[in-house]
Structure 1
Amino acid sequence: MALMITDECINCDVCEPECPNEAIYPGDEIYEIDPNLCTECVGHYDEPQCQQVCPVDCIPLDPDHKETREQLMTKYEALMAAK
Structure 2
Amino acid sequence: MQYPYVHVADETEVDHFLVVVKALNAYCTATESSINYIEARQLFEQYLSRVGKVMESLTASMEQEKNAAPTNREYTEVY
Instruction: Say yes or no: TM over 0.5.
Output: no
Structure number having the greater helix percentage: 2
TM-score by length of 1: 0.29
Normalised by the length of structure 2, the TM-score is 0.30
Q: Which structure would you say has the larger Rg?
A: 2
Asked which structure has the greater RCO (Cα within 8 Å, sep 6+), the reply is 1
